[in-house]
Structure 1
């Protein structure tokens, strides 16, 4: 084919079809061009998408202590007075149910997810530990971004993602956000960002420090953590 010369030689069958229609006024579709290229042995090999960070699917696990599995997810909070949403990204420890760290802001990107993880490791004093928690998320853009993937690899943490349409695999953080909605947000009409921020941060403090959890021997997460550390409660296993 004379059309395939010089710069046109770099075209695949789809771009070559466009070139033939525009410059040679040929009535030809890309399927026919594909067949002709294949017959002439000039078909360009299909480029394979390079996956820098392999996807790890969430595994069934048995959690027997804190800092083994953390779940992370995003909730949108509406500000009535400003007619806009802001983002709450929270990270929960599946075993002790504490909100280890969170991000609140008008935007939420992969860099924020990486920052949450770094702060959470610092708060739990895990930088000196060889064993670090597995981070479980859904497949949102923040959690599949290069910024987050590079962050968890740099911090030596394993990241696993739940299959699509399986929120039960992220049940603990989903439950926290649902509780926040029913206890504080459902009846609230915030005039501005500052008012919404104050309510959400106050609830996170309440949830972690004082709110009774039936699954934690009727203790708040921080009370439960101290009880386990002082051998005042019986450890248990959480199956996820």
Structure 2
């Protein structure tokens, strides 16, 4: 570039010189314009130190700060700067935008803590599996029940072992959140003496909020458990727990009109015990799920055929 500028300064044609030295014309003119243009840096409009009301009265920033502190004193920190802006407009008729209120709140150090950004949970889709023994794949899902006497719903969350059909853990409650699903999973692993075992079952769920939430994901990570989720609108990939919930509806929930939550809790708990320990299941050689699990564990029965999912 320096060579080109030297010959151009002596009066030679610009196009010819640039073609000889191999410098693009755009590069040359960009450099020339950059040298000749003085950029003006502006500090922006100075802060006026006041605002106007709708009646064109001047209100100082100090007065606005006092009003902000009064709102915080009355409302606590329930108001962020956006709500404080609305409150100033409604109460005092100020013509003020949220950017200025944000600046004033920052000066007063009364800004609410920033919400933590929600972490998107990576979705691991359920893949085809071959189950050949217990504790390889557990399915889980949620079932609703209704308490007629209290006009409210309750929830039943269950974990089923795909191979032996035993309900290894369940939760009954008036609410069901990620922490309830995580706690029930811990209890199921403890029941099967797998809590400290390196080989834990894969957990297959749908895409309900109890399973996609941060709490459940962190629990699976802490327990070193692989959690996979079925694609949307494919309940057939969670067929075993869906079949169990059909049995639960047909043989328990559909036979009762619960008056209280305590009554519902007792009935479902009794059914869970009956299902695991009394009710014979054709899928496990007409034994109860618990009986088959124990005999299979001690190699006292013929193993089932492999289950392809």
TM bucket normalised to smaller: 0.7 to 0.9
> 2: CA distance between counterparts of 1:51 and 1:180?
35
| DSSP-derived class of the 1:143 partner | helix
Counterpart in the other structure of 1:83: 151
Gaps of 5+ in 2: 1-43, 46-95, 97-116
Aligned length, in residue pairs: 196
Counterpart in the other structure of 1:238: 307
Counterpart in the other structure of 2:72: none
Alignment of 1:1-240 (within 5 A): 52-236=120-304, 237-240=306-309
Q: 1:51 to 1:199 in 2, by over 3 A?
A: same
> 2: CA distance between counterparts of 1:151 and 1:231?
32
Q: How far apart are residue 150 of structure 1 and its match?
A: 0.6
Instruction: Give the TM-score normalised by structure 1.
Output: 0.78
Q: Is the CA contact (8 Å cut-off) linking 2:148 and 2:257 kept in structure 1?
A: yes
| DSSP-derived class of the 1:65 partner | coil
Using CA pairs under 8 Å that are at least 6 residues apart, name the structure with larger relative contact order, 1 or 2.
Answer: 1
Q: Is the CA contact (8 Å cut-off) linking 2:220 and 2:226 kept in structure 1?
A: yes
Gaps of 5+ in 1: 7-22, 24-48
Q: Is the CA contact (8 Å cut-off) linking 2:121 and 2:212 kept in structure 1?
A: no
Rg larger for: 2
> 2: CA distance between counterparts of 1:89 and 1:190?
18
Q: How far apart are residue 162 of structure 1 and its match?
A: 0.4
CA deviation map 1:137-167 (0-9, x unaligned): 0000111000100111011101000001111
The alignment yields a C-alpha RMSD, in angstroms, of 1.8
Bigger proportion of residues as helix? 2
